[in-house]
């Protein structure tokens, strides 16, 4: 939160550990937090915050939204809420993320692959694609041009 504030973000709500009966609650707790005034140049927009924190980043139009969504070294997942499914599918095609949720979030199924693009993860978990992590693919090429036609084996 301190880095975000120093870079110009404002805390709309939350932003500190919760208090219980007027006393600071002990442990690793943090209030759900919404940050505004955020741009993609800020660390809070470029680095993962492992906590109940969201950053509101305004955009001009669909093209600007996709540009900003892709201005990161990560690409694990993305979500979009809209009544326009054609727009949602354009977004899903254009955004560099391994999973895109439309009008929902964090839905997973063991038969569907899960994994990111760019620096978000390695390979795919779940689904048949996860089996690739347990295999070694090999190509073997043999020039048989010096061998008689029909010669196989010993």
State pTM to two decimals. Answer: 0.71
CATH assignment of the domain containing 53: 3.40.309.10
- Please say if the pLDDT value at position 61 is more than 70: yes
What is the pLDDT at residue 133?
74
- Please say if the pLDDT value at position 148 is more than 70: no
Enumerate residues 6+ apart whose C-beta is below 8 A from 76. Answer: 97, 98, 99, 115, 116, 117, 120, 121
Measured CA to CA in angstroms, residue 35 lies from 31, 50, 68 at distances of: 12, 14, 17
- Residue 57 belongs to a domain: yes
- Residue 28 belongs to a domain: yes
Give the number of domains in the chain. 1
- Residue 154 belongs to a domain: no
- Residue 111 belongs to a domain: yes
Enclosing domain of residue 12 = 2-134
- Residue 46 belongs to a domain: yes
Assign 151 a pLDDT band (cuts: 50, 70, 90).
low
pLDDT digits (tens, 9 = 90+) for 83-101: 999 999 999 999 999 999 9
Select, from the ranges 56-60, 112-116, 138-142, the one with the highest average predicted confidence (pLDDT): 56-60
- Residue 101 belongs to a domain: yes
- Residue 146 belongs to a domain: no
What is the pLDDT at residue 149?
63
What is the pLDDT at residue 140?
79
- Residue 144 belongs to a domain: no
Measured CA to CA in angstroms, residue 128 lies from 103, 107, 139 at distances of: 26, 18, 21
Report the C-alpha gap between 122 and 115 in whole angstroms: 7
């Amino acid at each position: 939160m301190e880095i975000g504030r120093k870079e110009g973000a404002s805390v709309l709500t939350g932003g500190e550990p919760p208090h219980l009966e007027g006393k600071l609650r002990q442990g690793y707790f943090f209030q759900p937090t919404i940050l505004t005034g955020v741009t993609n140049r800020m660390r809070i927009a470029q680095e993962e915050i492992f906590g109940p924190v969201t950053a509101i980043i305004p955009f001009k139009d669909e093209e600007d939204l996709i540009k900003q969504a892709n201005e990161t070294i990560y690409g694990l997942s993305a979500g979009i809420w809209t009544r326009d499914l054609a727009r949602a599918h354009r977004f899903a095609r254009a955004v560099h993320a391994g999973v895109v949720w439309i009008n929902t979030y964090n839905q997973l199924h063991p038969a569907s692959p899960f994994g990111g693009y760019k620096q978000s993860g390695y390979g795919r978990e779940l689904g048949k694609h996860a089996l690739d992590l347990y295999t070694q693919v090999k190509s073997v090429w043999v020039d048989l041009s010096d061998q008689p036609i029909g010669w196989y084996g010993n």
